Chains A and B, each alone.
Chain A
């Protein structure tokens, strides 16, 4: 089977001697929604830079939909769409021109590019802004413009480098819906993000890079199954006495909520019963933090 992306022993040493990638190997299946995670400076952007040939690799090989980026330069690039972390379009050009020019670079003539541009700009809520200069757009609109630009040549693999950074929650949710939709339509997506909730919500598989090495490459489900305990926050009608034994480690957060630690397989039925037996009602319950976040921190710390 041809992978959407196959990276083998990828290494990058910058001119100043910094070793950004120390032999990363990973594969991403076609149709996958893959999260590439890692702390700042871990090597995520270097990896993406190499995939889209903005960064020269020191050694190793990269194949995009079976096309080696060294041997089949043009074919490999045709399969790939990239949404970078930083805005990288001319601020003085019109939205429609930015999209159709990008199509032109891929050999798509204007008469084909224009309806495609309309399709993606409408989908991303930018069609009304098509004649505006890019600098007039808000930050969220600029991010969506870069997504439309990356899709105009209908790539089979879309790479998004922190696409929702600085985007408000409502817009982030609508971008998630859009990305889910194009993934369901067959586009393989690789996403880097610092919002681990985003990775957990969208992605099926995950790779974690730290200090230039891939420290984890598995499914989100398998990763989450590694969690031994979870922390829940319960909003309650009154706070129990501090020394009260609920059968679970707990602590009061404020006058209305407590945090409870639940071991894997322990269940929460007994917890509710214990709380109720002291005349306290649970009003609501939620995870303390993103579950993936705890695993991420553990994995990154272990690899140091």
Chain B
């Protein structure tokens, strides 16, 4: 009971945090994605023609929704946990009887909720540009939840190791954005030469984008079961590592 109340408290606090600063957290993805839809979908997309049997706008929308989920889940946990470290209010949690599992789950669920909220906003915006048909609801929802969880965990690790606000933007800028752009958001893998197709297989974001695109459009460059297995494997790996960081007090306790 005590841990459940603590969990609810952390999640509520996290949701309150990102909704309080909605101009920084919820509005930018709506504007950015609108621009992507206009430029890549409507203006350039009409000249590209079809991709895997769908209009370029239809093809690109699932990738852009997934891109929003990835960046927002990551950013939420990363900035929130680092701010708590920076302002020392992480000590409020550390001196209390909240277990490390609950601390981690609370922050991760906060990130997942923001990811879902942003995904909903971007989806609504996309409906002004194209019609969305959902091929498989179960796969679509599962991939969204799993991806948001995975990147919330990744954001947590970044926050634990960050020593400055610069450190929480390095990974999104130099790792996350390139991997997302090269992860099949804007193109089908079949367009790449075989060598680069093989190289792309090492990019975990490729699996998420394709699994989600399968849920929406019913097409994927990669086996969907394999994709979900890869995402789940990464979640287990990162969750264990996050717990290790909390239990050992790395960069949190002296």
Interface residues of A (CB under 8 A from B): 14, 49, 52-56, 73-75, 77-78, 80, 82, 84, 86-92, 97, 101-102, 104-109, 149
One of B8, B92, B97 near A88 (C-beta < 8 A) = B92
B93 at the A interface (CB under 8 A): yes
Is there contact, CB below 8 Å, between A53 and B92?
Answer: no
Q: Which of B1-16 contact A (CB under 8 A)?
A: 1-6, 8-10, 12-13, 16
A54-B253, A107-B3 known, 9 other contacts, Cβ within 8 Å = A52-B91, A77-B95, A88-B91, A90-B83, A101-B9, A104-B5, A105-B97, A107-B4, A149-B92
B173 at the A interface (CB under 8 A): no
Is there contact, CB below 8 Å, between B93 and A105?
Answer: yes
Is there contact, CB below 8 Å, between B95 and A82?
Answer: yes
Q: Mark B40-54, 1 if CB is under 8 A from A, else 0.
A: 000000000000000
Is there contact, CB below 8 Å, between B97 and A106?
Answer: yes
Q: How far is the CB of B208 from chain A (nearest CB, A)?
A: 32
Is there contact, CB below 8 Å, between A77 and B89?
Answer: no
Is there contact, CB below 8 Å, between A102 and B96?
Answer: yes
Is there contact, CB below 8 Å, between A107 and B89?
Answer: no
Main secondary structure of the interface of B (DSSP, over half): helix
One of B3, B13, B254 near A54 (C-beta < 8 A) = B254
Is there contact, CB below 8 Å, between B88 and A88?
Answer: yes
B179 at the A interface (CB under 8 A): no
Contacts of A82 on B, CB cut-off 8 Å? 95
Contacts of A101 on B, CB cut-off 8 Å? 9, 13, 92
Contacts of B6 on A, CB cut-off 8 Å? 104-107
Is there contact, CB below 8 Å, between B95 and A107?
Answer: no
Q: Mark B233-254, 1 if CB is under 8 A from A, else 0.
A: 0000000000000000100011
B84 at the A interface (CB under 8 A): yes
Q: How far is the CA of A52 from the CA of B90 in the complex (A)?
A: 13
Q: How far is the CA of A14 from the CA of B93 in the complex (A)?
A: 23
Main secondary structure of the interface of A (DSSP, over half): loop
Contacts of A49 on B, CB cut-off 8 Å? 254
Q: How far is the CB of A131 from chain B (nearest CB, A)?
A: 13
Q: Mark B91-107, 1 if CB is under 8 A from A, else 0.
A: 11111111100000000
Contacts of B95 on A, CB cut-off 8 Å? 52-54, 77, 80, 82
Q: Which of B164-223 contact A (CB under 8 A)?
A: none
Q: How far is the CA of A54 from the CA of B96 in the complex (A)?
A: 10
Contacts of B83 on A, CB cut-off 8 Å? 90
Between-chain CB contacts (< 8 Å), 17 pairs? A53-B94, A53-B253, A54-B95, A54-B253, A56-B249, A73-B97, A74-B97, A80-B95, A86-B88, A92-B20, A101-B92, A104-B8, A104-B9, A105-B9, A105-B10, A105-B96, A106-B2
Contacts of B3 on A, CB cut-off 8 Å? 107
Q: How far is the CA of A140 from the CA of B5 in the complex (A)?
A: 31
Q: How far is the CB of A106 from chain B (nearest CB, A)?
A: 6
Contacts of A97 on B, CB cut-off 8 Å? 13, 16
The chain A residue with its CB closest to the CB of B91 is: A88
Q: A52-B95, A101-B9, A105-B6 are in contact. Are A88 and B1 (CB under 8 A)?
A: no
Contacts of A88 on B, CB cut-off 8 Å? 87-89, 91-92
Q: Which of B92-150 contact A (CB under 8 A)?
A: 92-99
Is there contact, CB below 8 Å, between B97 and A107?
Answer: yes
Top 3 closest pairs, chain A to chain B, by CB: A107-B2, A104-B9, A105-B96
- Most B C-beta atoms less than 10 A away, residue of A74, A84, A87, A149: A74
Q: How far is the CA of A73 from the CA of B1 in the complex (A)?
A: 16
Q: How far is the CA of A145 from the CA of B52 in the complex (A)?
A: 60
Q: How far is the CA of A102 from the CA of B84 in the complex (A)?
A: 14
Q: How far is the CA of A56 from the CA of B97 in the complex (A)?
A: 16
One of A78, A90, A106, A108 near B89 (C-beta < 8 A) = A90
The chain A residue with its CB closest to the CB of B21 is: A92
Is there contact, CB below 8 Å, between A102 and B92?
Answer: yes
Is there contact, CB below 8 Å, between B91 and A90?
Answer: no
Is there contact, CB below 8 Å, between B253 and A56?
Answer: yes
Q: How far is the CB of B20 from chain A (nearest CB, A)?
A: 8
Q: How far is the CA of A243 from the CA of B95 in the complex (A)?
A: 62
Q: How far is the CB of B98 from chain A (nearest CB, A)?
A: 5
One of B4, B9, B20, B97 near A78 (C-beta < 8 A) = B97
